[in-house]
Amino acid sequence: MVEADVESRQRAVRDLEEAIRLDPSNEDHWLTLGKVYLVGEMNTKARGCFDRAVRIDPQNPQSYTERGRAWKRDWVRWLDTLSLARAIADFDTVTRLRPNGSEGWLALVPLLYDHGDLPGAARAAERALAGRPRVIDASLAVAYTSYRLGDVERADSLFNATIPRLTADRRRLFENAAPILGRPGHAGAVKRRPRPAAAQGSISGEPPPEVAPSVSDSEVAPIAQDVWDRLDPDPTTPENETRLEFWSRVAHAYFFFFDPLQPVLDSRADLYIRYGPPRSIDINPDGVATSVKSDVISQGRTASLAEYPMGVVRWNYPELGMRIVLNDRSLHGRFDPAFSRDFQVGSVPDPAVLSHRGDLQSLDGGRAIFPTLPPRALRVEVAGIAARFESGTSGRLLAQVQAIASPAETLASRWVVVDTTGRTVASGSARLAVSACDPATRQLAEVSRELPPGRYRLAVSVRGAGHRRGLFRAPVSIEPPEPGLGLSDVVISCGDPTRMPGGNSIRLDANVESIVSGPGPLVAYFEAYRLAAGSDGLAHFEVEYAVRRLSEAPAPGKRPKLEPVLLSSATRSDAQVAGLRRQFISVPVTTLTPGRYQLEIRVRDVTTQLQVERVVPFDRE
């Protein structure tokens, strides 16, 4: 068995068969023979040996462990659901025979997770962590199942405590960001040693070596913290959700795809790390070649063209517009990307699909896709607006975020504003209040902050019970005030526009979804700045609004087309003390049919003849 060549394996089989003839009730002989058969890719014979060992001693957990590993190997290769069920049953038996052992519980984690039983996988990981002997892999299992259950803080703590304690090969799996950041040249990557040419598709994004293969074949330094910071979708928390998602994918890929008999993770693990689990997998799909042709060379000349069978699977990601074909030319369960001299449609994410997915971020031109929002089962649905106003010589950001939640649910928010370098310029936290727009089903978080001119990113996170999370993000550009007439953003409001407290402040309840329904008017709020005084000492100005229907949805990066006919418009003249004007307007919408519209606001200073304009889209239900 140590020599690992065919002749030695055949001699080992003959010796073991003779040992079994002499002592047929010795289960160790059957277990050893089954392992030899597995090395020789004779899986059916191997499972037969393990079956015999189970019958000899039904109380020996080792027999169930070896048979469970064989069934798992069959499931990972060909996705036979019966093999998965039998593997789970065998490892479950191991946990019943040795409830305080860690091995059986740990083996159950990836199988239950892939079976769709996340709570069961998490319980198995906890039992493995508490079991004996203590194994460091149990901490990884608890970390990635905790993250999938929404316990971000615990997952981050466990990953950071466990990864430095791993062996060098396994630690590189978590530290090597080549699968998501691409080839060398990105921050954090260093030169790799030249390796022999081999099949494509290792977990590290580099060809696996032909000699002494391991689970990782590239030598990279951990990427810099600022690189991870730029990928973090939620800067309101100290945890980096993109890195946790990456670590969780690596952990599951290792537990699920790693085979001690073939200690190099193949292209399936690489795909899983970069794109997550596929929606479905097809075995030998129609229209895809299941054989490969090759020239047969005899005495230096091409003698004939031979055709060899190969295993084929297709990983389907319809939400990304991808269908990736993988081939197993060795027929030993090692899958590589299908070879083609031409570009294969569906082999990379569809940019048109990604442009409409605000909940995903694409790295390195589609080399990897990571979510920016929590899973729907753990998500607090939020919607918000970020509007800009002026405040003296600086700008003022007003953001309102509404979360779908009953008044009885306790929600808390955290917000942060970062500049283009990633530096935090403002942050805060508060409990959400009942929304005036819909008190029965929505709660409101508000951010009001003065900011100097510049470009920023705003993030507002919402947290609830049961690890439920929501996230609103928006770019913000604060322009320096310019001489002459100025106009703020236009904010569609809900409620009665006459609800204005005394003094210099206004309570604004934004219609964050910009959806207008019912017979009531559309209410909008804006501010006009630096209205000039006329000869009578007063500022004279005109406010005009116009409503247009927006045509079909515009292409990404294109402005929406406007229909040529205005549906409604009105103009109002007024006068006041020069300077600032706070203004609500009411726009009748009873005659508007359902669809998408645009409200245009124009303010003209009669004294200076200057005019400014803002637009805001809205939907009529």
By CB neighbour count within 10 A (0-12 exposed, 13-18 middle, 19+ buried), where does 552 fall?
A: exposed
d(C-alpha 101, C-alpha 91), whole Å? 11
User: Which H, E and C letters describe 172-186, residue by residue?
Assistant: HHHHCCHHHHCCECE
Please name each of the domains of the chain with its CATH number. 1-73 (1.25.40.10), 280-371 (no CATH), 377-481 (2.60.40.10), 482-621 (2.60.40.2550)
DSSP, collapsed to helix, strand or coil, labels residue 171 as: helix
Residues in the chain, overall count: 621
pLDDT at 412 over 50: yes
User: Which H, E and C letters describe 477-504, residue by residue?
Assistant: EECCCCCCCEECCCEEECCCCCCCCCCC
Q: Which whole number is the average pLDDT over 371-381? A: 94
- In 3-state terms the chain splits into helix, strand, coil percentages (rounded to 5) of 30, 30, 40
d(C-alpha 550, C-alpha 563), whole Å? 6
* Mean pLDDT, rounded, of the chain: 87
Strands in 280-283's sheet, in edge-to-edge order, are 280-283, 311-317, 322-328, 336-337
d(C-alpha 55, C-alpha 136), whole Å? 33
By the 8 A CB rule, do 414 and 439 touch?
no
Tokens of 504: 């210099």
pLDDT band at 198 (very low <50, low <70, confident <90, very high): very low
pLDDT at 426 over 60: yes
pLDDT at 245 over 80: yes
pLDDT at 220 over 80: no
pLDDT tens digits, residue range 324-349? 999 998 888 889 988 877 777 788 89
DSSP, collapsed to helix, strand or coil, labels residue 270 as: helix
pLDDT band at 561 (very low <50, low <70, confident <90, very high): low
Q: Nearest-CA neighbor of 547 among 498, 609, 621, 620?
A: 620
pLDDT tens digits, residue range 203-212? 333 333 333 3
d(C-alpha 165, C-alpha 51), whole Å? 37
By the 8 A CB rule, do 597 and 567 touch?
yes
By the 8 A CB rule, do 324 and 295 touch?
no
d(C-alpha 595, C-alpha 50), whole Å? 66
Task: Could you list the beta-strand ranges (E) of 253-381.
Answer: 280-283, 291-298, 301-309, 311-317, 322-328, 336-337, 360-363, 368-371
User: Which H, E and C letters describe 74-99, residue by residue?
Assistant: HHHHHCCHHHHHHHHHHHHHHHHHCC
DSSP 592: P
pLDDT band at 558 (very low <50, low <70, confident <90, very high): low
- Angle, helices 6-22 vs 27-39, to 10°: value is 160
% of the chain residues with pLDDT over 90? 68
pLDDT of residue 562: 64
Q: Nearest-CA neighbor of 223 among 174, 272, 270?
A: 174
pTM summary value: 0.87
d(C-alpha 261, C-alpha 259), whole Å? 5
Separate counts of helices (H) and strands (E) for the chain: 15, 25
d(C-alpha 206, C-alpha 202), whole Å? 6
Residues β-bridged to residue 433: 444
Longest dimension (CA), the chain: 119
